[in-house]
Chain A
Amino acid sequence: MGKINLVGLEVEGGWDGSPCKRPFATTKIIPDHSIDGRTLISDNPLTCTHIGEIVSLPMPALRAATDPWIDTHWPQHANNTCGFHIHTSYASMKDYAALTTKHFLTKLVEVIIEKGKTLNLPTTHYLFKRMVGNNPFTMYNFDASNQLRIKQKSVGDRLRYGMINCSWGLHGTIEFRGYPTFETPALAKEFTNLYLDFIEDYLEEFSDKFAKVYSATLYIECGELRFTLRTPKEVV
């Protein structure tokens, strides 16, 4: 049993088909302003029948659950504006908190870039562009503290557009927004499993280290009031 409780997938892109018929009987395509070409200039405008985002139901963090969903729902069309987001929930708040650290994101980005190189993805691949962290919908710099308290999505609120979105108040999840909509479902599965495996390994190694005691003492020294603050060594 892993530390991840459930997984949810969201993918943006375009699907072929008849305008009068939904591509999927049970999954609705939701309009998405981030890929309509107005907020972010697209390098290859989507001209297919159905454009937007589809969202999975929560599922177990198992390859046997995520792989079939990706195979079935992956869009045929995508461009630089389209993203693939992964939500994960946790039974332990200690585990959740460990993933709010910049340390986690830094390590994750390293692993993803390394994987991209191993797979010989071209340097111009959307993945590498997103990993730079300056895409306005998936920024490397984000305010985890304030993300935690968001309870409602609102237009114009850019707080949640971090590469990591600590969507505790909204969904009780950590959302990773760094992936592009990969050109094939095979790549999407490869990187989904990489991400989920990385989380398990990361929590195994760092969850307890970050959750150590932080303390402060107020005392009198030489007639003066002073205080000390102690944080775990692992915190950078």
Chain B
Amino acid sequence: MSEFVVSLMQKTPPDIEICELTATVTDTGVEITARSPLIADFVASKNVGAHKGEEYVSNFRGLVFYSLPSRLGIDINGHSIFSDMFYNARNIDRGDVRGGTEPNMIWIRTKGLADGVKLVFPQPAHIPADLIEYLNRSMEKARIFYMKNIRKTTIKATLTEKING
């Protein structure tokens, strides 16, 4: 049984935290932080290959970003804020992988996810409606993401390991 599955099974409810999202309004805009040590551990575990792991991390990032209310995601002065965000995300990735091998890349990326990925959207928000709406929407997407990807794979991996002894 992999270390990830063991650690997941050893935890007693409600200790299993899947992810945490925070939103706050700062002097420069709306700051969003996404943190998921569980997904980071999962991706880093031996249950998923490098390619699949990358896909999970980017999917998780995607759900966090796309859950933003459209008014926070709309373009400013004709410049898409989503483009900016993904450009930044790509830059972070590039920085992470510089000189690294593929497994390292995943490790570094998932480390980011474990500690918290932070982005600032340079626009004000309507308090509290926009932030609550964002968190509700992204939690629902995170739930679907977990059910569709992590839980399914975890169960499959556990069964496989049980069969194989």
Q: Which residues of A contact B (CB under 8 A)?
A: 91-98, 100-101, 144-146, 148-149, 166, 168, 210-223, 225-227, 229, 231, 235
Q: Which residues of B contact A (CB under 8 A)?
A: 13-14, 16-30, 69-71, 74, 122-133, 135-136, 138-139, 142-143, 146-147
Give complex CA distance A146, B123 in Å: 13
- Is B126's CB under 8 angstroms from A145's CB? yes
Overall SS of chain B's interface: mixed
List chain B residues, Cβ under 8 A from A214.
22-24, 128, 131-132, 135
> Ordered nearest first, which 5 A-B pairs have the shortest CB separation?
A221-B14, A216-B135, A144-B126, A215-B22, A220-B16
Q: Which residue of A lies closest to B26 (CB)?
A: A94
- Is A93's CB under 8 angstroms from B25's CB? yes
List chain B residues, Cβ under 8 A from A166.
124, 126
Give complex CA distance A39, B42 in Å: 62
Give complex CA distance A126, B24 in Å: 39
Given contacts A93-B28, A223-B13, contact A144 B129 (CB under 8 A): yes
- Is B146's CB under 8 angstroms from A213's CB? no
Question: A223 CB to closest chain B CB, in angstroms?
Answer: 7
List chain A residues, Cβ under 8 A from B26.
93-94, 211
Question: B38 CB to closest chain A CB, in angstroms?
Answer: 9
- Is A98's CB under 8 angstroms from B127's CB? yes
> What are 19 of the A-B contact pairs (CB < 8 Å)?
A93-B26, A93-B28, A94-B27, A100-B125, A101-B128, A145-B69, A211-B24, A212-B24, A215-B21, A215-B135, A216-B138, A217-B19, A217-B21, A218-B139, A218-B143, A219-B14, A220-B18, A225-B143, A235-B128
- Is A168's CB under 8 angstroms from B123's CB? yes
Overall SS of chain A's interface: mixed
List chain B residues, Cβ under 8 A from A148.
71, 123-126
Q: Which residue of A lies closest to B125 (CB)?
A: A97
Question: B9 CB to closest chain A CB, in angstroms?
Answer: 12
Give complex CA distance A216, B30 in Å: 16
Give complex CA distance A101, B127 in Å: 6
Question: A204 CB to closest chain B CB, in angstroms?
Answer: 15
Q: Pick the most buried of B13, B29, B126, B127: most chain A CB atoms within 10 A of its CB.
A: B127
List chain B residues, Cβ under 8 A from A92.
27
- Is A93's CB under 8 angstroms from B147's CB? no
Given contacts A145-B130, A218-B143, A225-B146, contact A213 B24 (CB under 8 A): yes
Question: B41 CB to closest chain A CB, in angstroms?
Answer: 14
Give complex CA distance A227, B130 in Å: 18
Given contacts A97-B25, A168-B123, contact A220 B13 (CB under 8 A): yes
- Is A149's CB under 8 angstroms from B71's CB? yes
Q: Which residue of B lies closest to A147 (CB)?
A: B126
Question: A199 CB to closest chain B CB, in angstroms?
Answer: 15
Give complex CA distance A146, B127 in Å: 12
List chain A residues, Cβ under 8 A from B133.
145
Q: Which residue of A lies closest to B145 (CB)?
A: A218
List chain B residues, Cβ under 8 A from A218.
17-20, 139, 142-143, 146
Give complex CA distance A215, B122 in Å: 19
Q: Which residue of B lies closest to A220 (CB)?
A: B16
List chain A residues, Cβ under 8 A from B129.
144-145
